[in-house]
Amino acid sequence: MKKVLLLSFIVTSTALSAQINTKALKNKATQLQQVTKVTPALSEKEIIDGLKEALSKGSTKAGTLASAVGGFNGNSLIKIPFPEDAKKMETKLRAIGMGSQVDKFVTTLNEAAELASKEVGNIFLNAITNMTVKDGMNILKGADNAATEYLRSQSYQQLYDKFKPIVVKALQQVEITKHWNPLVTKYNSIPMVEKVNPDLEDYCTKKAIEGLMKLVAQEELKIRKDVNARTSDLLKKVFAEADKPR
């Protein structure tokens, strides 16, 4: 009788143990599924559309900031300085008491950039039409300014060609030659100096684009680092992918 009871106990214990182990395994499997569950892969269209939206948002904000009164003049990050290849000219002119005229020229140069920036929106947007899904994934997993750098590397000449006429018009509006020509004339009249006359249209165009790119990069960084800056479901979904460990 004792043997029968012992055998019954062993069988029952084994069965219960098996049930417990089976249940534990099922629980572990469920937990593992939950841990390893991933967001469905992004489609090519979602990646491209999401990055276009981010760049659209960034370039629109950049244009708004840059085109405001003092957008360039009041922002040390993007303020356009006296032309680099004429620095000797600036130094000489300031030394002979023409500092206020030099400052006025610099102010006017930046005002031209501010005027030109009012029309930059579509130029930036048209520059990303050839982005591939490979480009998109590299951007998502790249540096915090990867989208901005892609825009620069893939479309700089296009941006320059379309933006320069706008800058030229803006320079005419602020009468840049009225402030520049007296400086050149005075400097070139100084004995023994190497005469300079930089291409202001080219210089201002390049500096304006450079400034706008810096502002776009700032907006891109916000979207990458601040989930509250992701103002649409698409931005949230696409940049959630960028948040994953690399």
**What is the full per-residue pLDDT of the chain (246 aa) written as tens digits?**
544 444 454 444 444 444 545 554 455 444 434 333 334 577 888 988 998 899 888 988 999 999 999 999 999 999 999 998 899 999 999 999 999 999 999 999 999 999 999 888 778 777 777 788 888 888 988 999 999 998 888 888 888 999 999 999 999 999 999 999 999 999 999 998 888 888 999 999 999 999 999 999 999 999 999 999 998 999 999 998 888 876
Quote the pLDDT of residue 185.
Answer: 92
| Residue labelled with tokens 């790249």 | 142
CA–CA dist 128, 52 (Å, integer)? 7
Whether residues 66 and 18 share a domain: the answer is: no
Whether residues 81 and 12 share a domain: the answer is: no
Show the tokens assigned to 241: 């992918």
Phi-psi region for residue 29, left (φ > 0), alpha (ψ -120 to 50) or beta? Answer: alpha
Quote the pLDDT of residue 8.
Answer: 52
Whether residues 24 and 91 share a domain: the answer is: no
Whether residues 136 and 234 share a domain: the answer is: yes
Q: % helix / strand / coil in the chain, to the nearest 5?
A: 75, 0, 25
Whether residues 88 and 182 share a domain: the answer is: yes
Quote the pLDDT of residue 34.
Answer: 38
The phi, psi pair for 72, rounded to 5°, reads: -95, -50
The number of C-alpha atoms within 13 Å of 182 and in the hemisphere containing its C-beta is 11
Quote the pLDDT of residue 196.
Answer: 85
In 20-55, which positions are buried (b, 16+ CB within 10 angstroms) versus exposed (e)? eeeeeeeeeeeeeeeeeeeeeebeeebbbbbbbbbb
Range of the domain at 26: 1-37
Whether residues 147 and 63 share a domain: the answer is: yes
Q: At 161, which amino acid appears? A: D
Quote the pLDDT of residue 105.
Answer: 96
Whether residues 63 and 79 share a domain: the answer is: yes
Q: DSSP characters for 1-32?
A: -HHHHHHHHHHHHHHHHHHHHHHHHHHHHHHH
pTM over 0.85: no
Quote the pLDDT of residue 27.
Answer: 52
Whether residues 96 and 25 share a domain: the answer is: no
CB-CB contact of 212 with 80 (8 Å): no
Q: DSSP characters for 170-200?
A: HHHHTTHHHHHHHHHHHHHTSTTPPP----H
CB-CB contact of 91 with 48 (8 Å): no
CB-CB contact of 170 with 108 (8 Å): no
CA–CA dist 199, 197 (Å, integer)? 7
CA–CA dist 115, 57 (Å, integer)? 20
Q: How many domains does the chain have?
A: 2
